[in-house]
Structure 1
Amino acid sequence: MTAGVDTPDRRGRTGLDRHGRDLTGNPRVRIRDVEVLSCDWYVLRKTTFDYQHSDGHWSRQQRETYDRGDGATILLYNTERRTVLLSRQFRLPAYVNGHPDGMLLETAAGLLDGDSPEEAIRREAAEETGHTVGAVRHLFQVYMSPGSVTERLHFFAAPYDTAVTGGAGGIAAEGEDITTVEVPFAEALDMIRNGAVADAKTIMLLQWAALDGPFRPTDTPDRT
């Protein structure tokens, strides 16, 4: 008996090996087997499939996929002050892969955990920054690392004022220790150039704000 397959894992899940077996959207892909390698919290699977190449021949391939669920992120901005609100927190994967201290500046973000993307990002913004978000704008959704990670991330933007309406810092019970940082927008763009901002979702949102969003040149139409 295997946890997550025949018996419940620590999150009460079974049948995790059935994920993806019934896909029919691409006739050049035939799923042959799905094996659960780990389901301690998120799910690591190894999928065996046949793939038809452009010249017509078929090959059998295997890929590992890491399923942590989908997520959402938001850029909080203030056009009067020309600032953005970011968070700083420790990221172990970045630390072990060359980041000097693992303390990354990021836009507020989190997993959906069963909520809609808009519900989730309102929750995460409140938990991380202490700000209750008003009207939010859904910008786009992106597969952040499609070669190995299944996560699809929903991108939002919303204005903020200087009033903090609740606690910030993240969820202590989950080990979060988050600091909120207000950064002038021009400085935030410079931080991309000098490497002080090295998080992909944050870079994408800051560049959206500069090109199409609230800090775009005044003679440039809003294209989103």
Structure 2
Amino acid sequence: MATTPETTPDAVRQPSRVEILSRREAYRGRATVEEITLRQTRRDGSAQDITREVVRYGSNVVAALPVDIARRCLLLCRQLRVPMLIDQNDPYPLEVCAGRLEQGEGAEDGTRRELLEEFGVTALTLTHVMASYTSPGILGARADLYLATYDGTPRAAGGGLADEGEDIDVIELSFADAAALLVTGSLRDAKSVILLQHLMLRHPGLFPTMNGA
């Protein structure tokens, strides 16, 4: 009889297969780099020592896509992103609202604060979409992703905090224009793609058909 791949929870590799041998801080600046040496028991039973770096950028991160269902529009922003400048010559990519949590701050409270600071928006509701790790092989920070709702009332100033180097341009887009960003590959920030696709799955009737796109 042919065998099938293991898919049950019992087949998940357990933490007991990994022993942490040493940890040391290799770098501390705006980010920290921790060097960790581990002993991994491989699937064939042999032991292997490996060293990995874990990069942390302060605390965990929150991100939110503000949407106005009644008017079929949403908010994105542009702000300076140095890695995108260096790698893609695209210093101001479109993205959702995002930021780091402050000491002792909960994810929902941090999301509401970031929306007000950066987008000038008071969230009417917040819906938690998922907790994600953008690059789990090296980045230690978790990102909690939210859909937020807002309405057409005038927004506060927003724009971020000047003392943190933020100069954020907030842009309101129709659902149709936002969907076109996905089709053309113009939205390249991973958390923004996840949140927009989640919105499209939750409210497919509010988006134009993608057939033939």
- Calculate the TM-score normalised by the size of structure 2: 0.85
Runs of 4+ in 1 over 3 A off after TM superposition: none
Structure 1: 5+ residue stretches without partners: 1-24, 219-224
Identical columns (%): 31
Structure 1 residue 167, shift from structure 2 partner: 2.2
Structure 2: 5+ residue stretches without partners: 1-13, 207-213
Residue in 2 aligned with 1:103? 92
- CA distance in structure 1 between the partners assigned to 2:146 and 2:27 by the alignment: 32
Residue in 1 aligned with 2:11? none
- Residues 43 and 67, structure 1, Cα contact 8 Å, conserved in 2: yes
- CA distance in structure 2 between the partners assigned to 1:104 and 1:81 by the alignment: 24
Residue in 1 aligned with 2:46? 57
User: What is the aligned-residue RMSD (CA, Å)?
Assistant: 1.4
Residue in 1 aligned with 2:199? 209
1:48 counterpart (37, 49, 59): 37
| Secondary structure at 1:139 match in 2 | strand
- CA distance in structure 2 between the partners assigned to 1:54 and 1:164 by the alignment: 59
- CA distance in structure 2 between the partners assigned to 1:58 and 1:43 by the alignment: 29
Residue in 1 aligned with 2:173? 183
- Residues 211 and 217, structure 1, Cα contact 8 Å, conserved in 2: no
Structure 1 residue 101, shift from structure 2 partner: 2.5
- CA distance in structure 1 between the partners assigned to 2:132 and 2:75 by the alignment: 22
- Calculate the TM-score normalised by the size of structure 1: 0.81
Point out which structure has higher relative CO (alpha carbons under 8 A, 6+ apart).
2
Is 1:147 the counterpart of 2:137? The answer is yes
- Matched residues, number: 191
Residue in 2 aligned with 1:8? none
| Secondary structure at 2:195 match in 1 | helix
Residues 28-39 of structure 1 mapped to structure 2, 5 A cutoff: 28-39=17-28
Letter paired with 1:190:
A
| Secondary structure at 1:56 match in 2 | coil
Residue in 1 aligned with 2:3? none
Larger fraction in helix: 2
1:126 counterpart (113, 116, 132): 116
Letter paired with 1:217:
G
| Secondary structure at 2:182 match in 1 | helix
Letter paired with 2:49:
R
- CA distance in structure 1 between the partners assigned to 2:30 and 2:170 by the alignment: 27
- Residues 169 and 176, structure 1, Cα contact 8 Å, conserved in 2: yes
- CA distance in structure 2 between the partners assigned to 1:189 and 1:200 by the alignment: 15
